[in-house]
Chain A
């Protein structure tokens, strides 16, 4: 795939790369082809069935709890009191969205800058040296991120970063209050580090598909390097970058272990990023094993359903964004 133009697309007979081999199957006859198609269809439908089963099962367990609280109250109330069977999910939804937003705000510029640097500016040797540790970041288990966050990041945030932010940007409600360390900010920063490799590596792939002549044309017209990136490279790759961001966002929304270790686990809604909060996956993981009754278990399953709904909703938004911003053939879908 390094140089698509050197390979006459469509002429499958001359394609000798092993990954093209399955596509040449039709030439050998119809039976294996049909069998292959049936197998793939079964597997594809199977995936849909699993998703449907998850939703229906969550609904079966969680439905009574939603009915008990009322759907509107379940989503909008902020009291979560299992001993009294009062279940309001608002703090968890809020915490999930806020931490993911913080993560995106931090990770997106860094990832995009990194991807642009590596594809547009850095020599090939640097690219391979830098992209290896980025790929490595993606392989670190989330509990390790959580431990690192708790023992390294949180003290730094509490002693240095949060007091500094409070002093300089303290007029914003976002940066007010006592610096505790554990809270939305810590969770957001950890998530940013976790989704950075996803966004960066997919963006690199996408940027590499931008045809050289586009760039050269811009440069030939007298554009500076930055103008060439801004006017010809980024518009071409925009849809793919949105897709990469959505994949990163998906990971941030669902991350459980690392978040629960640094977010403070307090079901409250606060404007300040310094305050402790809670997230949907974290509360499910925390309370499920020792849930005290049918309703409590049900409410946790309903939270799972909510998380599913939030993810689906954001994916739909992402699809629309991709469709709206589609310019070039680079299409990475979330």
Chain B
């Protein structure tokens, strides 16, 4: 019986090898950009049938681990790598691809619009503001009758880039939050119920009257959830729009490694809880064919690919960032030779 299994296994692996005459590029990482990445990969495959890009959305943590160990050709992460993580992956370049945002949703049947000050939001999540008719909320919403009801706080229970962006924002606007729970993909929440994924948080919010939660903008748009207005860095009340998210990165001077937080940025329209999502690629590619194809794909994604973003509820990169990424890509090499130097 055993030899039969062996022979069958051998035959299978041979068949696998024979069909792999296409150039297969492997990537792994963040789940948040998965819908647009898979669209890009399939569009790009239509343009270049000989190149197939395979992406596993296993989470940013897994993506960082795999690209550090070079078991994949590129990684993807919602949060930039820490200095410590980057030390282990020398020569790794962050390349922003699209932008996402986090919005505040709530459940009060009578209340259709809501304005929340940054400090008030932090205090709600710190458990210091516990009732909807708290003066801090009532003052900013004079036209709305806020009920005398307890606030049920909902947050993500799974480690996620969304939580990272949200807690990054809270850390910027509230010193107390920064000193307390801090910023991370999973934090020690002072109060609240955890829901798994955007759908879990939405489930908690939809079912519990008097609850408040945070979800990805794309998820809120697709499910037509009303979202709260926030006061941005310049003091304007803004709703989350794709243009507002793009504006969040437009004014900021970009460092060469793009490892920068773009929450609470200046700009009249800038929405304050926004972030890049990144591809992680080594600056010098070892495999000639793969490296060449990968860099050309990224160039395509940064230009033609951006047009697909809005349709899938991602904010496209502002022109200033695309321009900077062009320079970065031109500086990247395959076995020491630049590939895109003459691209425009």
Contacts and interface: CB of A to CB of B under 8 A. Distances in A.
Given A150-B203, A291-B61, A286 B158 contact: yes
B185 A265 contact: no
A151 interface: yes
A83 interface: yes
B36 to A, nearest CB: 19
Contacts of A286: 157-159, 186, 194, 196
Interface residues of B, number: 35
A84 B157 contact: no
A261 B196 contact: yes
B160 A290 contact: yes
B323 to A, nearest CB: 31
Contacts of B188: 79-84, 86, 267
A104 to B, nearest CB: 25
A260 B186 CA distance: 15
Interface in B171-189: 181-189
B155 to A, nearest CB: 9
B202 to A, nearest CB: 11
B196 A289 contact: no
Interface string B195-214: 11000100110011000000
A303 interface: no
A182 B201 CA distance: 12
Interface in A269-285: 276, 278, 282, 285
Given A83-B188, A264-B193, A290-B61, A182 B204 contact: yes
B204 A292 contact: no
Contacts, number: 102
Interface in A76-96: 79-84, 86
Given A83-B182, A266-B189, A286-B159, A181 B207 contact: yes
A290 B157 contact: no
Nearest to A265: B194
Nearest to B171: A83
B219 to A, nearest CB: 16
A166 interface: no
Given A182-B193, A264-B193, A290-B61, A83 B183 contact: yes
Contacts of B182: 83-84
A281 B184 CA distance: 21
A150 B189 CA distance: 22
B200 A289 contact: no
Q: Which of B58, B59, B84, B159 has the most CB of A within 10 A?
A: B159
A154 B211 CA distance: 15
22 contacts: A82-B159, A82-B188, A83-B182, A86-B188, A158-B207, A178-B150, A180-B152, A180-B208, A261-B196, A266-B192, A267-B188, A276-B194, A289-B58, A289-B61, A290-B158, A290-B161, A290-B186, A291-B61, A292-B61, A292-B184, A293-B82, A293-B85
Interface of B: 31, 58-62, 82, 84-85, 150, 152, 157-161, 181-189, 192-196, 200, 203-204, 207-208
Given A83-B183, A289-B59, 8 more contacts: A82-B185, A158-B208, A265-B193, A288-B159, A289-B159, A290-B59, A290-B60, A291-B61
